[in-house]
Structure 1
Amino acid sequence: MSGRSYKDAVDLLNTLQSNAATLEAIKALGGQGNELAIPEMVEYLERIGYKREDLNSLNIIHVTGTKGKGSTCAFVDSILRRLYTSPHLVAVRERIRVNGVPISEELFAKFFFDVWDRLEETADQQRLPTAKPKPMYFRYVTLVAFHAFLTLKVDATILEVGVGGTYDCTNIVPRPIVTGISSLGIDHVGVLGKTIAEIAWQKAGIFKEGVPAITVDQPTEGMVVLRQRSAELKASEFIVVPPVPEVAGIQLGLAGEHQIVNGGLAVLLSQKFLQSKGQTTPQAALPSSFIEGLKDAKWPGRCQTVNDPMYPSTVWFLDGAHTVESLACCIEWFLTPLPGEIHFESLYSIATRGRSGQSFLGVVLEKIAAQLQLHGSSESPDTFFDKVVFCANVTYADGHFKGDLTSMSIPEDDLARLKTQQELAAAWTSLLPTFPNENVHVLPSIEHAVRAVRDETSNGRPVEVLTTGSLHLIGGLIEVAGLSEVAL
Structure 2
Amino acid sequence: MTGNNSDRILARMMALHPKVIDLTLDRMLPLLAKLDHPERRLPPVLHVAGTNGKGSLLAYLRAMLEAAGYRVHVYTSPHLVRFAERIRLAGKIIEEDALNDLLLDCEKANGDTPITYFEITTIAAFKAFAETPGDILLLETGLGGRYDATNVVARPALTAITPISHDHADFLGTDLAGIAGEKAGIIKPGVPVVVGPQDPVALDVLEKIAEKLGSQSYIYDREWSCRRVEDGWEYRNATGVRLFPAPALHGLHQVENAATAVACLDHLGVFTVSDAAIAEGLQTVEWPARMQRLTKGPIADALPEHTEIWLDGGHNPAAAEQIAASFARWNERDPKPTFLIAGMLNTKDQKSYFSRLSPIIEKGHCIGIPGETASTSAADLAALARAGGVNATEMPSLMAAVEALLPDLAARPGRLLITGSLYLAGQILRDNG
The residue identity in structure 1 corresponding to 2:417 is: L
1:128 equivalent in structure 2:
none
Q: Aligned-pair distance for 1:303?
A: 0.9
Mapping of residues 337-376 of structure 1, within 5 Å: 337-338=330-331, 342=336, 346-355=339-348, 357-366=350-359, 368=360
Mapping of residues 273-292 of structure 1, within 5 Å: 273=268, 275-277=269-271, 279=272, 287-292=275-280
Identify the match of residue 165 of structure 2 among 185, 189, 192: 185
Partner deviation per Cα, 1:345-404 (whole Å, 9 max, x = no partner): 6522223325454433222113x1xxxxxxxxxxxx5xx23xx3322211xxxxxx5xxx
Task: Tell me, yes or no, if structure 1 residue 472 matches structure 2 residue 413.
Answer: no
- Unmatched 5+ residue regions in structure 2? 78-85, 235-243
Q: Aligned-pair distance for 1:190?
A: 9.9
CA distance in 2, matches of 1:429, 1:222: 31
The residue identity in structure 2 corresponding to 1:441 is: E
The residue identity in structure 2 corresponding to 1:440 is: T
Q: How many residue pairs align between the two structures?
A: 401
1:208 equivalent in structure 2:
188
Partner deviation per Cα, 1:140-190 (whole Å, 9 max, x = no partner): 221121111112122211000111111111010011111000111157779
- Secondary structure of the structure 2 residue equivalent to 1:38: coil
The residue identity in structure 2 corresponding to 1:290 is: I
Q: Quick one: structure 1 residues 180 and 346, their matched pair in 2 at CA, closer, same or farther if it must change by over 3 Å?
A: same
User: Which structure has more helix as a fraction of its residues?
Assistant: 1
Between 1:325-334 and 1:184-193, the stretch displaced more is 184-193
The residue identity in structure 2 corresponding to 1:472 is: Y
Q: 8 Å contact 1:64–1:161 — kept in the other structure?
A: yes
Q: 8 Å contact 2:341–2:419 — kept in the other structure?
A: yes
User: Which structure has more strand as a fraction of its residues?
Assistant: 2
Task: Tell me, yes or no, if structure 1 residue 421 matches structure 2 residue 378.
Answer: yes
- Secondary structure of the structure 2 residue equivalent to 1:171: coil
CA distance in 2, matches of 1:460, 1:346: 8
Mapping of residues 100-139 of structure 1, within 5 Å: 100-120=91-111, 133-139=113-119
Q: Aligned-pair distance for 1:118?
A: 2.7
Q: 8 Å contact 1:348–1:468 — kept in the other structure?
A: yes
2:293 equivalent in structure 1:
305
1:63 equivalent in structure 2:
48
2:80 equivalent in structure 1:
none
Task: Tell me, yes or no, if structure 1 residue 174 matches structure 2 residue 154.
Answer: yes
2:66 equivalent in structure 1:
81
Mapping of residues 244-255 of structure 1, within 5 Å: 244=226, 247-248=233-234, 250-255=245-250
Between 1:44-53 and 1:137-146, the stretch displaced more is 44-53
- Secondary structure of the structure 2 residue equivalent to 1:330: helix
- Secondary structure of the structure 2 residue equivalent to 1:172: coil
The residue identity in structure 2 corresponding to 1:389 is: H
2:251 equivalent in structure 1:
256
Task: Give TM-score scaled by structure 2 length.
Answer: 0.82
CA distance in 1, matches of 2:32, 2:122: 10
CA distance in 1, matches of 2:308, 2:408: 15
Identity %: 25
* Pairwise CA RMSD: 3.2
- Secondary structure of the structure 2 residue equivalent to 1:243: strand
> Which structure has the larger Rg?
1
CA distance in 2, matches of 1:192, 1:47: 30
Q: Quick one: structure 1 residues 155 and 472, their matched pair in 2 at CA, closer, same or farther if it must change by over 3 Å?
A: same
Q: Aligned-pair distance for 1:267?
A: 0.7
Partner deviation per Cα, 1:41-75 (whole Å, 9 max, x = no partner): 12121223325422xx3211100011111111111
CA distance in 2, matches of 1:473, 1:432: 22
2:393 equivalent in structure 1:
440
Q: 8 Å contact 2:43–2:130 — kept in the other structure?
A: yes
Q: 8 Å contact 1:425–1:440 — kept in the other structure?
A: yes
Q: Quick one: structure 1 residues 181 and 429, their matched pair in 2 at CA, closer, same or farther if it must change by over 3 Å?
A: closer
CA distance in 1, matches of 2:386, 2:38: 56
Q: Quick one: structure 1 residues 335 and 60, their matched pair in 2 at CA, closer, same or farther if it must change by over 3 Å?
A: same
Q: Aligned-pair distance for 1:79?
A: 0.8
Q: Quick one: structure 1 residues 255 and 100, their matched pair in 2 at CA, closer, same or farther if it must change by over 3 Å?
A: farther
